[in-house]
């Protein structure tokens, strides 16, 4: 799958990040994602200092790959950040607050800082404060939602506003198509939350995971309903029994809602979790966990089952590769055409007899050396088209071997451009109909001249030839000689048959 600037910055193989999903993250999930080449994120906000140390040590024991930690900074969590940095964390993600002081502390410890923003203004402020990477979180996201603009609009707007700072897209992404779309919008990576809540390793309650598998996008609601423990903070979650009860009672404000203060579930130590709490149902809770907030983004529509995180990562990589392959098929086809040209040119240029370079069949016809020089010029022109310059210049014929080397070198430069992630300044069709088609015609002329000069090039069934995309130098496979009677193993194709009439 494609590498982006984010891969180098974070030391990961693929630009896929398991978003921080609160208490549902644990070392198993984080390590599984990081071991699969992405970036796992451990949320430490609602954990005690001892728990944080223990979780970090466990995560370090499960992976040697980079992973990050996340802190929600609406309250002072400086002590928690210090613990993470002391334990050796090198990637810090921040959400919901002023990041300045946390960024300074993290940078002093040599950590990279990612800040999640819901608007251009917030992203720009965070960059000014020193953030290295910005997460653009769209309104369709699950969990607490910072802004009101959709991912599709927010990502390119933030990317333009803070370039060259890298942007990660969040909200609404749950498959490879979404990842490819995020990159197309100008993001350098994708941040997936809801998809990873429905992973085997996530510490979310089974009932919560099951509901994610059943839910559609319309089953999520954006509200401030679950505010006990985190007030005035909009979030997106499933419309569960608590939500429906509140809605059917006329959606009253906080303080007048049905059954406020009622304990609906318990933590393992027996502590109650009340209705409207901002705590999600984790696997260690018991009671009516369905009544607790089940954070989910609209991306839940694309989540149909709980799977191991490594399998999710594999699927995401394969799916996004598939999208890129499709988008790249024209580029691949043009590269194949150039390799075909290199193969055919290789046959007419190799083993040319002495004096062939200046062989002339008439006053008005060009010599092979002149044709070869022109073929080299065609690919200098092709490269100039690829980079948007459109330059032509005529070169003088040179010695046969040098002319041949120059032609292949020019071919290699054009193919190298197509093989890179550099954009093409003109259409693929223009390069084909101009330099490529022209050079193929000239290869035919050279073949005819070799026949006239008494050293024919052997014909073959080119559809079976060993033509390999990217092999564009003089080192081409020898022809298969299928039309050569001496080496014939099967029936001769294209031979005129005698008729009986």
> To the nearest whole angstrom, how small is the minimum distance from the Cβ of residue 294 to ligand FMN?
8
Q: What are residue 406's phi and psi, to 5 degrees?
A: -65, -40
Contact 190, 168 (CB under 8 A): yes
SS3 292: coil
Nearer to ligand FMN, 77 or 373 (CB): 77
Nearer to ligand FMN, 280 or 342 (CB): 280
The reply to whether 297 sits near ligand FMN by the rule CB under 6 A is yes
Contact 67, 40 (CB under 8 A): yes
Q: Which of residues 197, 348, 375, 414 is near ligand FMN by CB under 6 A? A: 197
> To the nearest whole angstrom, how small is the minimum distance from the Cβ of residue 118 to ligand FMN?
9
Nearer to ligand FMN, 297 or 376 (CB): 297
CB neighbours of 57 closer than 8 A, spacing ≥ 6? 87
> To the nearest whole angstrom, how small is the minimum distance from the Cβ of residue 195 to ligand FMN?
6
With contacts defined by CB under 6 A, name the span among 73-81, 171-179, 347-355, 409-417 that binds ligand FMN: 171-179
> To the nearest whole angstrom, how small is the minimum distance from the Cβ of residue 477 to ligand FMN?
48
Residue 453 to residues 309, 440, 499, Cα–Cα distance (Å): 66, 20, 34
The reply to whether 45 sits near ligand FMN by the rule CB under 6 A is yes
Q: What are residue 259's phi and psi, to 5 degrees?
A: 55, 35
* CB hemisphere CA count around 434 (13 angstroms): 19
The reply to whether 281 sits near ligand FMN by the rule CB under 6 A is no
Q: Which of residues 14, 19, 131, 449 is near ligand FMN by CB under 6 A? A: 19
Q: Which of residues 27, 118, 142, 479 is near ligand FMN by CB under 6 A? A: 142
The reply to whether 172 sits near ligand FMN by the rule CB under 6 A is yes
Q: Which of residues 1, 29, 111, 141 is near ligand FMN by CB under 6 A? A: 141
Q: Quick check: bond before 164 cis, omega within 30?
A: yes
What is the strand order of the sheet 143-144 is part of?
Answer: 143-144, 235-238, 220-223
DSSP 199: B
The reply to whether 199 sits near ligand FMN by the rule CB under 6 A is no
- H or E element: which one contains 124? helix 120-128
With contacts defined by CB under 6 A, name the span among 78-86, 296-304, 448-456, 482-490 that binds ligand FMN: 296-304
Contact 233, 278 (CB under 8 A): yes
The reply to whether 40 sits near ligand FMN by the rule CB under 6 A is no
> To the nearest whole angstrom, how small is the minimum distance from the Cβ of residue 213 to ligand FMN?
14
With contacts defined by CB under 6 A, name the span among 83-91, 191-199, 253-261, 339-347 that binds ligand FMN: 191-199
Handedness of CA 163, 36, 66, 19 (dihedral sign): positive
Distance CA 227, CA 293 (A): 10
Q: Which of residues 95, 230, 243, 379 is near ligand FMN by CB under 6 A? A: 95
Contact 142, 234 (CB under 8 A): no
Q: Which of residues 15, 40, 99, 143 is near ligand FMN by CB under 6 A? A: 143
Contact 227, 255 (CB under 8 A): no
The reply to whether 306 sits near ligand FMN by the rule CB under 6 A is no
Site of interaction with ligand FMN (CB under 6 A): 19-22, 24, 43, 45, 70, 72, 95, 116, 137, 141-143, 170-173, 191-194, 197, 280, 295-297, 299
């Amino acid at each position: 799958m494609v590498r982006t600037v984010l891969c180098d910055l974070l030391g990961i193989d693929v630009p896929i990040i398991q978003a921080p999903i609160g208490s549902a993250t644990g070392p198993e999930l984080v390590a599984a994602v990081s071991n699969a080449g992405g970036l796992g994120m451990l949320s430490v906000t609602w954990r005690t200092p001892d728990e944080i140390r223990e979780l970090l040590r466990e995560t370090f024991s499960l992976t040697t790959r980079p992973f990050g930690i996340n802190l929600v900074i609406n309250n002072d969590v400086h002590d928690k950040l210090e613990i993470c940095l002391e334990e050796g964390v090198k990637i810090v993600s921040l959400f919901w607050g002023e990041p300045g002081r946390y960024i300074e502390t993290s940078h002093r410890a040599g950590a990279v800082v990612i800040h999640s923003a819901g608007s251009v203004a917030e992203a720009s402020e965070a960059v000014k404060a020193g953030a290295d990477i910005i997460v653009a979180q769209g309104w369709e996201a699950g969990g607490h939602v910072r802004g009101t603009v959709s991912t599709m609009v927010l990502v390119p707007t933030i990317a333009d506003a803070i370039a060259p700072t890298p942007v990660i897209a969040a909200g609404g992404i749950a498959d490879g198509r979404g990842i490819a779309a995020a990159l197309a919008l100008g993001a350098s990576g994708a941040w997936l939350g809801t998809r990873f809540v429905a992973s085997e390793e996530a510490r979310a309650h089974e009932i919560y995971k099951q509901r994610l598998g059943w839910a559609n996008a319309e089953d999520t609601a954006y509200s401030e309903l679950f505010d006990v423990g985190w007030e005035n903070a909009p979030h997106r979650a499933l419309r569960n029994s608590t939500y429906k009860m509140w809605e059917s009672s006329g959606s009253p404000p906080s303080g007048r809602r049905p059954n406020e203060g009622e304990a609906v579930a318990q933590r393992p130590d027996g502590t109650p979790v009340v209705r409207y709490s901002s705590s999600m149902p984790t696997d260690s809770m018991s009671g009516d966990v369905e009544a607790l907030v089940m954070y989910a983004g609209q991306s839940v529509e694309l989540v149909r089952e709980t799977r191991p995180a490594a399998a999710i990562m594999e699927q995401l990589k394969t799916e996004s590769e598939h999208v890129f392959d499709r988008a790249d098929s024209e580029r691949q086809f043009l590269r194949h055409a150039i390799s075909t040209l290199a193969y055919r040119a290789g046959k007419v240029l190799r083993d040319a007899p002495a004096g062939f370079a200046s062989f002339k069949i008439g006053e008005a016809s060009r010599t092979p050396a002149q044709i070869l020089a022109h073929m080299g010029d065609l690919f200098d022109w092709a490269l100039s088209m690829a980079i948007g310059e459109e330059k032509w210049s005529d070169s003088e014929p040179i010695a046969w071997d040098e002319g041949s080397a120059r032609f292949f070198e020019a071919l290699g430069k054009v193919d190298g451009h197509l093989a890179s992630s550099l954009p093409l300044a003109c259409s693929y069709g223009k390069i084909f109909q101009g330099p490529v088609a022209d050079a193929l015609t000239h290869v035919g002329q050279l073949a005819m001249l070799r026949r006239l000069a008494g050293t024919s090039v052997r014909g073959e069934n080119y559809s079976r030839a060993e033509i390999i995309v990217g092999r564009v130098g003089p080192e081409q496979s020898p022809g298969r000689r299928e039309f050569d009677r001496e080496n014939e193993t099967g029936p001769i194709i294209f031979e005129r048959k005698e008729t009986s009439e």
